[in-house]
Amino acid sequence: MITMWTDEKIHQFRKTLLNWYDQAGRKNLPWRQDQDPYHVWVSEIMLQQTQVNTVIPYYQRFMTLFPTVEALASAPEEQLLKAWEGLGYYSRVRNMQKAAQQLVTDGRVEWPQTMKELEKLKGIGPYTAAAIASIAFLEPVAAIDGNAFRVLARLFKIDADIRLPRTRQLFFEVGNQLIDPKRPGDFNQAIMDLGSSYMTAKNYDSEHSPVKAFNAAYQDGTEDFYPVKSKARPARLIHYFAVRITSPSGYLFEKRPKQGLLANFWTMPLYALTEFTEDPEADWQLAEMVTATEKRLKMDYGIQTTLKPLSEKAITHVYSHQKWQVIVLTGTLDTEVDVKRGQWQTLSEIAKKPQPKVQEKIWQHLRAHK
């Protein structure tokens, strides 16, 4: 059960928080130079599950390449993915383009100005809708992100599991009672700045926090209990072969399917070992697996060649829900051949394609074992 503060205490909190924000807030961030909804939107999408320092150069480049909603709406997908390359969660930028196309009607951009309406746009959920509505349109709605979960959980000693979707509503209601109706955008951003400075997840410094007097968990020394968050499931281990084939025409490269992990990104052919063995956790023989891969390469691409492991040592690459162990196999063709799938590409052609981080690791691995 949460004990809500008195009106007097709420007013004191707003004043304390916003005074601190005016004095110490990160006003120099590139997306905080104005309240243009497009700027707020792009920054909020980029900042999802991504740290501020990572986002800054991406944001600046993106605004140069796609300065307006119209530019975003009409951009070629490959150019968008290239601009997002390395940021991760690539459906974010695909969804953003769909939303941009929703926004452009009869050649003009019409922005919905409420959280409720903003949530109807692709890729804009409750957090991002509240952030845009409060910052760009001054609607008093709480933007509940990881920072707000953590800050509010400590201020009010809320012990609901923040990993559970149903918990969001509780925090949203608490936030909506606290938010300053005159400066809703600044209030939300102040909570986030607080959550990324004095009230971080680890190594927090509640002692020097401007709102320590309001922090119930700090006041009774229980702050490392908050927020309550259940454990995530461990990532599943998957073994892969990455196949580097060269010919006089270049490297064999392939565009991934338009749905799922790394959709529409380009990689060398990848085979999960589950293609060749029932139990890839068991003690498999590398030579047998390589022979099986040669057969599949002929079936899938029409390529006949001998493959050799570049190294016994695998590349490790971790996603949120999968852990890849990738062994690189190499093969060479001396003559030009047509392929049933994929494309032959030169290095300069490849450089223009959006490639995932794991492909970059494969390139590095190849250079290291040359």
Partner DNA sequence: GAATCGTGGTA
Partner DNA sequence: TTACCAAGATT
Interacting residues with DNA (CB under 7 A): 26, 29, 32, 43-44, 47-54, 86-91, 95, 122-129, 131, 145-147, 150, 164-166, 189, 192-193, 195-196, 200-203, 229, 231-234, 236, 260-263, 316-322, 356-358
The smaller minimum CB distance to DNA, of residues 227 and 331, is found at 227
User: Helices (DSSP H) in the chain: which residue ranges?
Assistant: 7-24, 37-47, 52-65, 69-73, 77-84, 91-103, 115-118, 126-137, 146-156, 167-178, 184-195, 216-219, 286-301, 347-350, 357-368
Q: What minimum distance in Å lies between the beta carbon of 6 and DNA?
A: 29
CB closer to DNA, 84 vs 344: 84
**Among 44, 139, 223, 254, which one carries the catalytic annotation?**
44
Query: Which of 235, 299 has the CB closer to DNA?
Result: 235
User: Could you tell me the smallest distance in angstroms from the CB atom of residue 316 to DNA?
Assistant: 7
Task: Determine the Cα–Cα distance for residues 6 and 278; give it in Å rounded to an integer.
Answer: 63
Rounded distance, CA 366 to CA 33, Å? 44
Q: Give the CA distances from residue 15 to residues 11, 191, 339, in Å, rounded to whole numbers and listed in that order.
A: 6, 13, 67
- In the complex, the smallest distance separating the C-beta of residue 140 from DNA, rounded to whole angstroms, is 18
Amino acid at residue number 18: L
Which residue, among 140, 355, 370, 200, has the nearest Cα to 268 in the 3D structure?
355
The dihedral over CA atoms of 295, 297, 298, 299, expressed in degrees to the nearest 10, equals 90
Q: How far is the CB of 5 from DNA (least distance, A)?
A: 23
324 is written with which tokens?
């890849």
Q: How far is the CB of 56 from DNA (least distance, A)?
A: 10
Beta bridge partners of 329: 243, 309
119 vs 300, beta carbon nearer DNA = 119
Q: How far is CA 210 from CA 189, 216, 229, in A?
A: 15, 14, 25
Q: How far is the CB of 130 from DNA (least distance, A)?
A: 8
Give CA–CA dist 38/40, Å, rounded.
Answer: 5
Closest separation in Å from C-beta 213 to DNA = 22
Name the residue nearer to DNA (CB basis): 48 or 249: 48
- Is 32 or 212 the residue whose CB approaches DNA more closely? 32
Q: What is the chain's percent helix, strand, coil content, to nearest 5? A: 45, 15, 40
Query: Catalytic: 44?
Result: yes
Largest pairwise CA distance in the chain: 81
Phi-psi label, residue 68: left if phi above 0, alpha if psi -120 to 50, beta otherwise: beta
CA distance 365 to 370: 9
Which residue's CB is nearer to DNA, number 200 or number 219?
200
Which residues are tagged catalytic? 44
